[in-house]
Amino acid sequence: MINVPRIPLNDGNWLSAVGFGTWMMNDEQVRSAVVESAQLGYRLFDTAARYHNETGVGQGIVSSGLPREDIQVTSKVRGGDQGYEETLRAFEATRRNLGLEYVDCYLIHWPLPRLDLYVETWKALIHLRETGAVRSIGVSNFSTEQIDRLISETGVAPAVNQIELHPMFGQPQLRADNAERGVVTQSWGPLGRGEGMLEAEPLAAAAAAQGVAPAQVALRWIYQLGAYPIPKSGDQVRRQQNLDIFDFELTETEMAAIATLESGRLGKDPAVDEEF
């Protein structure tokens, strides 16, 4: 079993350095995936109201048999539930679906600037943290300007900003801005979402030199940048690979070669695209 480092957060809590992504898995798939992943050493499971699989994630967590305090679950408020009262209601549904007393990390899924409700939504998250229903609160797909607005209007900085981040979209400025504000950067789509990135030459070359798989190189690259990936896999051998990134180190030359893959985002642009 792999021991995954715990990353300190600005609220005194911690975040597992690699988590397990669950997007596109249904309740049944995710239930067994969580149990099997926990056996490998995964301690963080990433879901969202929008993934419609919180029930399976929660059942998997209970079935894993691990002490509750050793395991973490992240969930997210979807766009259509933004607003103060709406978010409190949405959280109760999330908590009920998960079947857990508290949620470790609760994020605003997308900023949706056109709605201009993310500050009210953030106030609801602060309230949930104060009541103990949520341990850590954060955001996803937020820009520096949006994070600064949260801080200036509420005095509370997010613990986490979960953003698209992989060798084709390294987000150096946003990572630096997050770090300056004490916000931990978490990486979604770390493997390039299974869309061919892993075959690229710099990843293949580093993988051959290090004796690991290209996916491990991509995840290690993210980790060495000071960000924390949440890869998804339906396959137990790949899940093992994706967690096993702590006993090799990429050289500066390998890090730089991988950065040349920069070609832009694969997912939606949070400044203009909307997701409810």
Ligand X SMILES: NC(=O)c1ccc[n+]([C@@H]2O[C@H](COP(=O)([O-])OP(=O)(O)OC[C@H]3O[C@@H](n4cnc5c(N)ncnc54)[C@H](OP(=O)(O)O)[C@@H]3O)[C@@H](O)[C@H]2O)c1
Nearer to ligand X, 53 or 59 (CB): 53
Residue 138 near residue 161, CB atoms below 8 Å: yes
Nearer to ligand X, 95 or 109 (CB): 109
Nearer to ligand X, 172 or 194 (CB): 194
Please report, for residues 56, 58, 61, 194, 257, the alpha-carbon distance to residue 101 in angstroms, rounded to integers and kept in the order given: 16, 11, 12, 34, 45
In the stretch 34-73, what mask flags binding to ligand X with x, by CB under 6 A?
------------x---------------------------
- Partnered with residue 77 across adjacent β-strands are 108
- Partnered with residue 7 across adjacent β-strands are 15
152: tokens are 């200036």
- Could you say whether residue 232 binds ligand X (CB under 6 A)? yes
Please report, for residues 112, 128, 131, 152, the alpha-carbon distance to residue 124 in angstroms, rounded to integers and kept in the order given: 16, 6, 11, 16
Site for ligand X in 72-111 (CB under 6 A): 109
- Could you say whether residue 190 binds ligand X (CB under 6 A)? yes
Among 38, 191, 206, 207, interactor with ligand X by CB under 6 A:
191
76: tokens are 């997210």
Active site residue 51: yes
In the stretch 2-31, what mask flags binding to ligand X with x, by CB under 6 A?
-------------------xxx--------
List, in sequence order, every beta strand (DSSP E) within 121-183.
134-140, 160-164
Q: What residues contact residue 166 under an 8 Å CB cut-off, 6+ apart?
A: 187, 189, 190, 191, 192, 197, 218, 222, 266
* Residue 201 C-beta: closest distance to ligand X, Å: 16
d(CA 169, CA 52): 27
CB atoms within 10 A of CB 269: 10
Nearer to ligand X, 182 or 234 (CB): 234
- Could you say whether residue 241 binds ligand X (CB under 6 A)? yes
Among 213, 222, 227, 243, interactor with ligand X by CB under 6 A:
213
Give the CB-side neighbour count of residue 17, counting CA atoms within 13 A.
Answer: 20
d(CA 226, CA 103): 24
- One of 51, 118, 223, 228 is an active-site residue; which one? 51
* Residue 194 C-beta: closest distance to ligand X, Å: 3
Among 162, 171, 178, 185, interactor with ligand X by CB under 6 A:
162
* Residue 71 C-beta: closest distance to ligand X, Å: 16
Among 64, 94, 143, 242, interactor with ligand X by CB under 6 A:
242
Stretch in the footprint of ligand X (CB under 6 A) among 87-95, 127-135, 149-157, 186-194 = 186-194
Residues of this chain that bind ligand X (CB under 6 A): 21-23, 46, 109, 140-141, 162, 188-194, 198, 213, 215, 230-235, 238, 241-242
Please identify every residue annotated as catalytic: 51
